Amino acid sequence: DAGVIQSPRHEVTEMGQEVTLRCKPISGHNSLFWYRQTMMRGLELLIYFNNNVPIDDSGMPEDRFSAKMPNASFSTLKIQPSEPRDSAVYFCASSFQGFTEAFFGQGTRLTVV
Protein backbone atom coordinates (compact mmCIF):
# COMPACT_ATOMS: atom_id res chain seq x y z
CA ASP A 1 0.00 0.00 0.00
CA ALA A 2 1.30 3.47 -0.80
CA GLY A 3 0.19 4.89 2.51
CA VAL A 4 -1.78 8.09 3.00
CA ILE A 5 -1.27 10.34 0.00
CA GLN A 6 -1.61 14.10 0.22
CA SER A 7 -1.38 16.73 -2.45
CA PRO A 8 0.03 19.18 -3.07
CA ARG A 9 3.18 18.83 -0.95
CA HIS A 10 3.74 22.57 -0.96
CA GLU A 11 1.38 25.42 -1.67
CA VAL A 12 2.12 29.12 -1.76
CA THR A 13 -0.84 31.39 -2.31
CA GLU A 14 -1.86 34.98 -1.89
CA MET A 15 -4.16 36.13 0.85
CA GLY A 16 -7.78 35.92 -0.22
CA GLN A 17 -7.31 33.01 -2.59
CA GLU A 18 -9.03 29.67 -2.25
CA VAL A 19 -6.86 26.72 -1.28
CA THR A 20 -7.82 23.05 -1.63
CA LEU A 21 -5.82 20.30 0.01
CA ARG A 22 -6.39 16.69 -0.98
CA CYS A 23 -6.02 13.36 0.77
CA LYS A 24 -6.29 9.71 -0.19
CA PRO A 25 -6.44 7.49 2.89
CA ILE A 26 -5.11 3.95 3.15
CA SER A 27 -7.45 1.50 1.49
CA GLY A 28 -9.69 -0.19 4.05
CA HIS A 29 -9.33 2.53 6.66
CA ASN A 30 -12.63 4.08 7.62
CA SER A 31 -11.48 6.93 9.87
CA LEU A 32 -9.86 10.00 8.38
CA PHE A 33 -8.39 12.95 10.23
CA TRP A 34 -7.23 16.40 9.22
CA TYR A 35 -4.61 17.98 11.50
CA ARG A 36 -2.82 21.31 11.39
CA GLN A 37 0.64 21.75 12.85
CA THR A 38 2.37 24.99 13.80
CA MET A 39 5.27 25.75 16.07
CA MET A 40 3.05 27.68 18.43
CA ARG A 41 0.10 25.30 18.71
CA GLY A 42 1.53 21.90 17.89
CA LEU A 43 -0.66 19.29 16.22
CA GLU A 44 -4.32 20.29 16.27
CA LEU A 45 -7.21 18.18 15.10
CA LEU A 46 -9.39 20.09 12.66
CA ILE A 47 -12.00 17.48 11.73
CA TYR A 48 -12.39 13.75 11.48
CA PHE A 49 -14.65 11.44 9.52
CA ASN A 50 -15.89 7.94 10.19
CA ASN A 51 -17.26 6.05 7.21
CA ASN A 52 -17.23 9.29 5.20
CA VAL A 53 -19.39 11.10 7.75
CA PRO A 54 -17.98 14.11 9.64
CA ILE A 55 -18.05 13.26 13.34
CA ASP A 56 -16.45 16.25 14.99
CA ASP A 57 -15.54 19.50 13.27
CA SER A 58 -15.16 21.56 16.43
CA GLY A 59 -11.51 22.07 15.65
CA MET A 60 -12.20 23.86 12.38
CA PRO A 61 -11.05 27.41 13.07
CA GLU A 62 -13.89 29.27 11.40
CA ASP A 63 -16.28 29.27 8.52
CA ARG A 64 -13.48 29.82 6.06
CA PHE A 65 -12.53 26.17 6.53
CA SER A 66 -14.56 23.32 5.12
CA ALA A 67 -13.90 19.62 4.58
CA LYS A 68 -15.60 16.94 2.55
CA MET A 69 -15.27 13.23 2.11
CA PRO A 70 -17.38 12.26 -0.91
CA ASN A 71 -16.21 8.64 -0.80
CA ALA A 72 -13.99 6.29 1.17
CA SER A 73 -10.89 7.06 -0.87
CA PHE A 74 -10.85 10.83 -1.06
CA SER A 75 -11.14 13.89 1.14
CA THR A 76 -10.58 17.60 0.68
CA LEU A 77 -9.90 20.46 3.03
CA LYS A 78 -10.74 23.85 1.62
CA ILE A 79 -9.84 27.30 2.89
CA GLN A 80 -11.70 30.22 1.35
CA PRO A 81 -10.56 32.96 1.63
CA SER A 82 -7.08 32.12 2.88
CA GLU A 83 -5.22 34.34 5.35
CA PRO A 84 -1.54 34.53 6.38
CA ARG A 85 -2.35 32.99 9.78
CA ASP A 86 -3.47 29.84 7.98
CA SER A 87 0.15 29.14 7.10
CA ALA A 88 1.01 25.76 8.59
CA VAL A 89 1.61 22.14 7.72
CA TYR A 90 -1.65 20.30 7.17
CA PHE A 91 -1.62 16.56 7.77
CA CYS A 92 -4.14 13.97 6.80
CA ALA A 93 -4.17 10.66 8.67
CA SER A 94 -6.24 7.51 8.47
CA SER A 95 -7.02 4.63 10.78
CA PHE A 96 -9.24 1.62 11.01
CA GLN A 97 -11.87 2.97 13.37
CA GLY A 98 -9.35 3.55 16.17
CA PHE A 99 -8.36 -0.11 16.28
CA THR A 100 -5.11 0.73 14.56
CA GLU A 101 -2.75 3.62 14.89
CA ALA A 102 -3.27 6.67 12.75
CA PHE A 103 -1.04 6.66 9.68
CA PHE A 104 -0.01 10.09 8.50
CA GLY A 105 0.50 11.47 5.04
CA GLN A 106 3.56 13.54 4.28
CA GLY A 107 1.67 16.76 4.83
CA THR A 108 1.01 19.88 2.81
CA ARG A 109 3.06 22.90 3.72
CA LEU A 110 0.82 25.91 3.12
CA THR A 111 2.19 29.42 2.97
CA VAL A 112 -0.23 32.31 2.57
CA VAL A 113 1.45 35.59 1.70
List the Cα angle 46/44/112 in 5-degree steps.
75
Strands (E), the chain: 5-7, 10-13, 19-24, 31-38, 42-50, 53-56, 65-71, 74-79, 88-95, 103-104, 108-112
Using the minimum distance from each CB to other proteins, give the nearer residue, 80 or 97. Answer: 97
Using the minimum distance from each CB to other proteins, give the nearer residue, 18 or 56. Answer: 56
- Nearest approach, Cβ of residue 13 and other proteins (Å): 21
Q: Interface with other proteins by CB under 8 A: which residues?
A: 31, 33, 35, 42-43, 45, 48, 50, 55-56, 91, 93, 95, 97-107
Residue 13 CA to residue 84 CA, distance in Å, equals 9
- Nearest approach, Cβ of residue 29 and other proteins (Å): 13
- Nearest approach, Cβ of residue 16 and other proteins (Å): 29
Using the minimum distance from each CB to other proteins, give the nearer residue, 62 or 101. Answer: 101
